[in-house]
Structure 1
Amino acid sequence: MAKYTDSAKELLKLVGGSENISVVTHCATRLRFVLNDTKKADAKAIEKLDVVKGTFTNAGQFQVIVGNEVASFYNEFTKVAGVGDTATKDDAKVAAKKNMNFLQRLIANLAEIFTPIIPALVVGGLILGFRNIIGEIAEFGPNGNQTLIELSQFWKGAFDFLWLIGEAIFHFLPVGIVWSITRKMGTTQILGIVLGLTLVSPQLLNAYGVAEATEIPFWDFGFAQVDMIGYQAQVIPAILAGFVLAYLEIWLRKVIPSVVSMIFVPFFALIPAVIIAHVVLGPIGWAVGDWISSIVYTGLTSAFGWLFASVFGFAYAPLVITGLHHMTNAIDLQLMSQFDATNLWPMIALSNIAQGSAVVAMIILNRRDKAEQQVSIPAAVSCYLGVTEPAMFGINLKYGFPFLAAMVGSALAAVISVGSGVMANSIGVGGIPGFLSIQAGDWLMFFIAMAVAIAVPILLTLALAKTKLGKNAYERLGKE
């Protein structure tokens, strides 16, 4: 009998049997189930299995934390359950949507747009962070008042060269967004790239120069004129244009005969999409994006900025649970486009750190629980590097009080960050490395906020563990 046969059989029974499994896949540490009836899964009983480190439900998927040996357990489970082992994560996402309401599906779609471009945003954030260090920190030289690019031609060349990549990622972001939409919708991806390029073409007035322009060029059609404005770094115009192109192509495939579809579908999809993007959706998307970013920026820099910051810092982690946090990517990018920086991203980085710090406290409290440390230690490291889900779902939410402690620490750190005017030049770099995204002049205050995000959750978690709240959590989990 294989190592995990008994555990696999028990898990199969507790998730409601093979007939209740629509799709099952796995990631680095978790089994991901899409169940026909989620109510049949006995989460409490599953968490008592020796091989299981925890469970949670997210994005319509019931997820079981197994740990580093998840691949071996998955292979044994699929044999015992008699379910196919060829399903992919995309299959699971599609199947999971039947368990979501309209808002959840909307958020899931938004997440699927940004997920493929996150690696580029992370790279861009690191590059802009490095340019911060060599180009903005005037702490070098004989008198300690010069930047590295002022002292060395090599660093000056590196500073200029790295902007080639930074500009490609952030200024030409609409290309990546429209491509991602066509990829998600299953339409022609090269058409998405072309549409994205028409939004950032060098022929157009750069979006960053519109405010200062004395005259805006235009296309003159005789009966109408259309402003030649680019949408560099603009998120909402790109999203709207991408969906118009995708739905046009899907509709045209249904009405145009297949024998001529290769010619006429791309033609009648792309040209109207470009026209609609520049005549209608671009201006509307620009106005909506400016409206959203202005409200956020005004709120965070007003006399009541501390209140906005405390609410956001406290609520960001719960937003991650619902998936609504993906909306902040669009707001951050819009803030960067409009104000050349964002005061939202520093709070996100601090929230990541706070969740990781609460896990550190749980590592201290449960230092004799070797099984839990297989989840908690990697989860804490992951949090400090900007990925919070393993920590939140695997440890903090399971106990409850560490999650609350992290939210309080995040709120206090956010107030310090916003109150001292900390701004980030880019997004994508979260957790402790997030300081690389922060403007050089704001490093000191960000480090102070970071210290709060580390210390408060640890101390508060240790304190809450001794209260009735903590004791009830341990009793509920059978830890006492």
Structure 2
Amino acid sequence: MKYQNFNQEIIELVGGKENIQAVVHCMTRLRFTLKDRSKADTEGLKALDGVIDVVSNQVAYQIIVGTHVSEVHKELTTMLGINDDAPTQQPKAKKNFVKAALDVVSESMTPILEPIICAGLLAAVLSILSLTGLISPESSTYIILDTLRSAVFYFLPIFMAMSCAKRLGANPYLAVALAVTILSDSINGVSGLTMFGIPLPEITYSNSFVPILLAVWVMGYVTKFIKRIVPNSLQLFLTPLLVMLIMLPATLLVFGPIGFYLGEGIIGIFTWLLDTVGAWFVMMLYAALQPFLIMLGAGNFIMPVVASLIAANGFDPAFITACTISDIAVGGAMLGYFLRTRNNKQKQLFGTVTLSAILGITEPAIYGVFVKYRRPFVAVIIGGGLGGLFAGITGVKAYSVAWGLFGLPSYIGEGDFSNLWFMVASVIISFVGAAVAAFLLGVPAEEDDSQEENAKSNQESEGKINLRTIPLKSVVKGQLVQLSEVSDQAFSSGALGKGVGLIPEADDIFSPVDGEVTVVFPTKHAVGIKGKNNEEVLIHIGIDTVELDGMGFDIDVQAGDQVKVGQKIGTVDFKSIKEAGYDTTTIVVVTNTNDYLDVIPETNRTVCDSDLSMNIIFE
């Protein structure tokens, strides 16, 4: 029992044996299901020698211990007396209905943001072309382009059906069939319809998301029930027919009316809030706090509300404006850090995430810098709050769903530029305010980092180190990003070793080194390889993909196999993983980084499997 004392301390600090309902593990962390999380001493666990970090979320209470987690887990379950026949299957966390609904909405919106953003930016381009007189609003060209913009929102139920079907256990094609049916001319917005003699209310399903979301949610349960009662030999013929015969009437009679009035109620609540409290307060609060929402994974939940507001009013009176102001404030905070720091490595990081934040992509800054330094949150609260307050007072409106610097033209009103100028002033206030605040707050631990960098530079200049390198190739074709930019704190902090992130553009996975496969996690989402120079490389495919239980992963090697650099070791269906709502970023780290002088990643760029991803430096 190598980890007996360590495990005994963990058991005591999580509240004792009686507080542990279940415990499983992934590649680096123990995932506890606790009966009462308030009994767990999180700070005590973080201070425990051998614990890298503790993460508590709706899925599980997670204690990150490193790549030897399987050994720790094996002894832990023995001490707990837990029958561990399936150690890799994650227990499903019990969620209340409201939390489950919020998760479904947020995760379902993520895959369909691209067409929504496209429509928003297209609206901005058309506004500019129309106001400058380059294209007449009555011309065929304008009408065709505007049709693309309007079609995205009109057919929102179809996008939502496809996006949430797999997440809710329904057949995506049957879900889309249901969506196109309720959008047909014979049903959508038609009055006087009856079904089985029951009058149907007049409902406009276009531009909505709640009715189809409720219908697909129930479709998942109906599908499972029918598959249990229909013989296997008749599944192909009877299951889709029975599902549709049940779901179409149920949607028109129940979920359609519920969803329609629920959607109207949501809009009414936000309209009341804006009318009574004021847009200035809503914008100020949301612009100041959006980074916290993104960090908690709730950044996309507001999108269905925004789509409904634009469909009902022709504009969004608060939220998209606040999103853009907050994003620009994040960029301002990173610029303040860029100007303040003297550390070259930090300058490179802050400069890179500054640009991405200004363009509307703030995750690299939030997960790579904000989580680590924390003070930027204060800077954004100051800058974003001031910008949001100004936008609210001046009544800025967003006429389409587009944020970031390139989304500003969408604030042009019909023949009126004043809305745009007020928005430009708002983002300037947020950017400057956050930059000044971040500069004054300073960069924590900067001096130590600078001293370490200078010492290393002096050592090299004096010729005291005769350097040799171990090159590591890319494991997948795609976009190489710095480890600090990935959205998993355990990896981005460098606690599990230095390395890189790769945003895949192909499905094949390759070995980065010559060596021996030491472990293939049963859910296939992670592979460990020990190179011929004793480098220990962990390939972690996707973030939180352990929850998929192997779905989409086809790994061709097993522990003990010898592999060559560039050898294909498996295939991953990244498209289905992304559609399921998971981040596909593939992380490659050298877990025994401390055994070497340094691990130096390549710069951000597009790489093929044969390209260099990082170098291990040793004497």
Taking a change above 3 Å as real, the CA distance of residues 288 and 430 of structure 1, as seen in their structure-2 partners, is same
Equivalence for 2:112: 117
Quote the Cα distance in structure 2 between the aligned partners of 1:280 and 1:128.
35
Retained in 2: the 8 A contact 1:60–1:99? yes
| Residue 163 in structure 1 maps to residue 138 in structure 2 | no
Identity among equivalent positions (%) equals: 21
Equivalence for 1:272: 246
Instruction: Give the TM-score normalised by structure 1.
Output: 0.72
Taking a change above 3 Å as real, the CA distance of residues 373 and 169 of structure 1, as seen in their structure-2 partners, is same
Taking a change above 3 Å as real, the CA distance of residues 130 and 475 of structure 1, as seen in their structure-2 partners, is closer
Taking a change above 3 Å as real, the CA distance of residues 45 and 366 of structure 1, as seen in their structure-2 partners, is farther
Q: How does 1:140-159 map to 2 (within 5 A)?
A: 140=132, 147-150=133-136, 156-159=139-142
Taking a change above 3 Å as real, the CA distance of residues 187 and 447 of structure 1, as seen in their structure-2 partners, is same
Equivalence for 1:295: 269
Shift of the alpha carbon at 1:46? 11
Structure 2 residue aligned with 1:333, among 300, 303, 307?
A: 307
Retained in 2: the 8 A contact 1:332–1:342? yes
Unaligned runs of 5+ in 1: 1-15, 25-32, 49-53, 64-76, 84-93, 141-146, 207-215
Rg larger in 1 or in 2? 2
Compare the two structures and name the one with the higher helix fraction. 1
| Residue 134 in structure 1 maps to residue 117 in structure 2 | no
Compare the two structures and name the one with the higher strand fraction. 2
CA RMSD of aligned residues (A): 3.7
Equivalence for 1:360: 335
Equivalence for 1:10: none
Quote the Cα distance in structure 2 between the aligned partners of 1:309 and 1:476.
37
Q: For 1:378, what is the secondary structure of its paired residue?
A: helix
Quote the Cα distance in structure 2 between the aligned partners of 1:200 and 1:415.
40
Quote the Cα distance in structure 2 between the aligned partners of 1:108 and 1:360.
33
Q: For 2:205, what is the secondary structure of its paired residue?
A: coil
Bigger mean CA offset, 320-329 vs 299-308: 299-308
Shift of the alpha carbon at 1:44? 11
Shift of the alpha carbon at 1:321? 1.8
Instruction: Give the TM-score normalised by structure 2.
Output: 0.57
Q: How does 1:375-454 map to 2 (within 5 A)?
A: 375-427=349-401, 429-440=402-413, 441=416, 442-454=419-431
Please give the per-residue CA displacement for 1:430-477, whole angstroms capped at 9, x wherever unaligned.
Answer: 221221332433211110101011100001112223xxxx7xx43898
Retained in 2: the 8 A contact 1:357–1:453? yes
Amino acid at match of 1:437: S
Q: For 2:193, what is the secondary structure of its paired residue?
A: strand
Taking a change above 3 Å as real, the CA distance of residues 347 and 97 of structure 1, as seen in their structure-2 partners, is farther
Equivalence for 1:183: 166
Unaligned runs of 5+ in 2: 1-9, 11-22, 34-41, 72-87, 452-619
Retained in 2: the 8 A contact 1:355–1:407? no
Q: For 1:158, what is the secondary structure of its paired residue?
A: helix
Amino acid at match of 1:355: V
Amino acid at match of 2:115: A
Please give the per-residue CA displacement for 1:88-113, whole angstroms capped at 9, x wherever unaligned.
Answer: xxxxxx97785786576554433321
Question: How many residue pairs align between the two structures?
Answer: 398
Quote the Cα distance in structure 2 between the aligned partners of 1:55 and 1:117.
32
Quote the Cα distance in structure 1 between the aligned partners of 2:145 and 2:56.
41
Taking a change above 3 Å as real, the CA distance of residues 304 and 116 of structure 1, as seen in their structure-2 partners, is closer
Retained in 1: the 8 A contact 2:341–2:446? no
Equivalence for 1:232: 206
Taking a change above 3 Å as real, the CA distance of residues 119 and 359 of structure 1, as seen in their structure-2 partners, is same
Shift of the alpha carbon at 1:349? 1.2
Quote the Cα distance in structure 2 between the aligned partners of 1:177 and 1:45.
46
Retained in 2: the 8 A contact 1:359–1:379? yes
Amino acid at match of 2:105: L
Q: How does 1:48-127 map to 2 (within 5 A)?
A: 98=92, 102=96, 106-127=101-122
Please give the per-residue CA displacement for 1:44-80, whole angstroms capped at 9, x wherever unaligned.
Answer: 99999xxxxx9988775999xxxxxxxxxxxxx98x9
Taking a change above 3 Å as real, the CA distance of residues 476 and 296 of structure 1, as seen in their structure-2 partners, is farther
Taking a change above 3 Å as real, the CA distance of residues 235 and 106 of structure 1, as seen in their structure-2 partners, is closer
Equivalence for 2:325: 350
Retained in 2: the 8 A contact 1:358–1:396? no
Please give the per-residue CA displacement for 1:121-160, whole angstroms capped at 9, x wherever unaligned.
Answer: 121112122122223x3xx4xxxxxx33349x8xx33321
Quote the Cα distance in structure 2 between the aligned partners of 1:355 and 1:96.
35
Retained in 2: the 8 A contact 1:22–1:36? yes
Equivalence for 2:432: 455
Pick 1 or 2: higher relative contact order, CA cutoff 8 A, min separation 6.
1
Retained in 1: the 8 A contact 2:179–2:212? yes
